[in-house]
Chain A
Amino acid sequence: MTTANVTRSIDARGMPCPGPLMSLIGAIREGTVGDMIEVLSSDEGSKTDIPAWIAKAGHEIVEVVQEPDHARFVIRKVR
């Protein structure tokens, strides 16, 4: 588990597409390199959108955990 290292948590459950991704982008922009950002999302679109954006923007997905009613993403701000 990486929970202990999380520096910021975003609970975007219930937020429709593209809300969770937009919240993550905001947190990345405000953060500093090395931040570990956790996003909880119940939006199915996040499962493709978050990895697509991370690949494009050059950050790192540390962990994706599928919970019964949402997914949990942990992202490291790389640059």
Chain B
Amino acid sequence: MDGSTLSLVMFSGTDDKLNAAAVLTAGAAAMGRKVNIFLQYWALDAFRADRVLKDHGVAPEAGPDGAELMQRHGGQHWSEIFRQAKDIGEVEIHACSLSMEMFGLRVEDLDPLVDGQEGVASFFVDVDGPVTFI
């Protein structure tokens, strides 16, 4: 692995932001960077095994036209992009223990993309530069 780690805090649970995070992750993994992801709130909810493939909508700024544009553009599902990124690189995805507790979730309830849950201080153990929040 070379370069600094991409540390990503994923908060939003809409498909456009999940896709943007997946694309960043794939690019970083392709270029040999470690990726360290912390799932909070609505992003965590989107990683539930029974919800990962459902329609998560788009951010409000998309408006009806933006939503339609995204639907027409298609492409791979964000979960598949994360899977490819994990396959080619060192990508660790952890659930925020506070959000897990809030939703009443156990690790078994999450998609296998998620490596486990951790507290916020543990997330910072692997942070070696800026944190990107999406």
Contact = CB atoms under 8 A, between A and B. Distances in A.
Interface of A: 15-19, 21-22, 25-26, 29, 49, 52-53, 56
Nearest to B88: A25
Interface in B1-59: 23, 26-27, 30-32
A2 to B, nearest CB: 24
B81 interface: yes
Interface of B: 23, 26-27, 30-32, 73-76, 81, 84, 87-88
A21 B30 contact: yes
A22 B88 contact: yes
Q: Is the interface of B mostly helix, strand, loop or mixed?
A: helix
Given A25-B88, A29-B88, A18 B32 contact: no
Given A15-B76, A18-B26, A53-B30, 20 more contacts: A15-B75, A16-B73, A16-B74, A16-B75, A16-B76, A17-B23, A18-B27, A18-B30, A18-B81, A19-B76, A22-B26, A22-B84, A22-B88, A26-B84, A29-B88, A49-B27, A49-B30, A52-B31, A53-B31, A56-B31
Contact of A56 (B32, B73, B75, B84): B32
Q: Which 5 A-B pairs have the closest CB atoms?
A: A16-B75, A18-B26, A22-B84, A25-B88, A53-B30
Given A25-B30, A52-B31, A56-B31, A18 B88 contact: no
